[in-house]
Amino acid sequence: MGAVTVARVDTLPAFRGALAFVAVAAGLGLGSDAYAQAGNASGEGAGEGGVDSYPLPGSAREAYSPIGEGFDSPIEPRANLKGPAPDVDEREARLRAARAPGLNPFFRDTELTAHNRTYWFDEDRFGSSDPKALTTGGHLTYQSGFLANTLQLRAALYTTQPLYANAYAGETLNLTEDGAQITVLGQANAKLKFAGQQVTVGR
């Protein structure tokens, strides 16, 4: 009776190698296409200020909107449509123009600005503490004009006040450890200008 020899070929390593080669090839192709798109969109490479270097908008009004761009400038849209749209408040220019021109700049250019924020925090820690807090507050800033084009005073007061706070509200980090309000003078300084230099002294 003759002997039968069975040869076993393990194809798994070869399959894995082929799969890895296909993945690497696809990744290189995608990377080159993406780089080409970045260069074509801005005239530069992605590493030289291309489409991946657009700054983030600072507010909702500055967010990119194709519909908004169409209404704002239908004839000559901005060249950099994907960047944040400039947010110009015309009321500020009108207020500045209405200030008394003969008034001392220290008082004429004084600005007092209030920023408000309301924040709801609710965290479920699955049987452990359950911190909840509804807080409101923000900051109040003061900035004077320059006295004799030399001295300017600035200050900022920050506060957060609880509207609702449970026993674990301090763990939200929006209040003190015992859930009480937080008020702090965050900035208080003077800016000096002289000999083409600026020096800020204070907090």
State pLDDT tens for residues 151-201: 999 999 999 999 999 988 988 989 999 999 999 999 999 999 988 899 999
Instruction: Indicate if 142 and 116 belong to the same structural domain.
Output: yes
- Domain for residue 132, yes or no? yes
Give the span between the Cα atoms of 200 and 139, in whole angstroms. Answer: 21
Instruction: Indicate if 92 and 107 belong to the same structural domain.
Output: no
Give the span between the Cα atoms of 143 and 200, in whole angstroms. Answer: 13
| Number of residues written out for the chain | 203
Give the span between the Cα atoms of 184 and 157, in whole angstroms. Answer: 6
List helix spans (H) across the chain: 12-42, 66-72, 90-98, 105-108
Instruction: Indicate if 154 and 137 belong to the same structural domain.
Output: yes
Instruction: Indicate if 69 and 146 belong to the same structural domain.
Output: no
Residue type, position 169, single letter? A
What is the span of the domain harbouring residue 93? 62-98
Q: Which of 53, 77, 98 is the last residue of a domain?
A: 98
Instruction: Indicate if 131 and 170 belong to the same structural domain.
Output: yes
Cα–Cα nearest to 120, from 138, 134, 132? 134
Instruction: Indicate if 161 and 178 belong to the same structural domain.
Output: yes
- Domain for residue 28, yes or no? no
Residue type, position 163, single letter? L
Give the pLDDT confidence score for residue 16 in this predicted structure. 63
Q: Which of 47, 80, 98 is the last residue of a domain?
A: 98
Give the span between the Cα atoms of 92 and 144, in whole angstroms. Answer: 16
Q: Which residues in the chain come in under a pLDDT of 50?
A: 1, 4-9, 30-51, 74
Cα–Cα nearest to 120, from 183, 158, 168, 163? 163
Structure tokens at 11: 């194809």
- Domain for residue 133, yes or no? yes
Q: How many domains would you assign to the chain?
A: 2
- Domain for residue 168, yes or no? yes
Cα–Cα nearest to 119, from 83, 162, 74? 162
Instruction: Indicate if 78 and 159 belong to the same structural domain.
Output: no
- Domain for residue 118, yes or no? yes
**Alpha-carbon dihedral of residues 119, 125, 128, 130, nearest 10 degrees?**
20
Instruction: Indicate if 111 and 194 belong to the same structural domain.
Output: yes
Cut 0.85: pTM above it: no
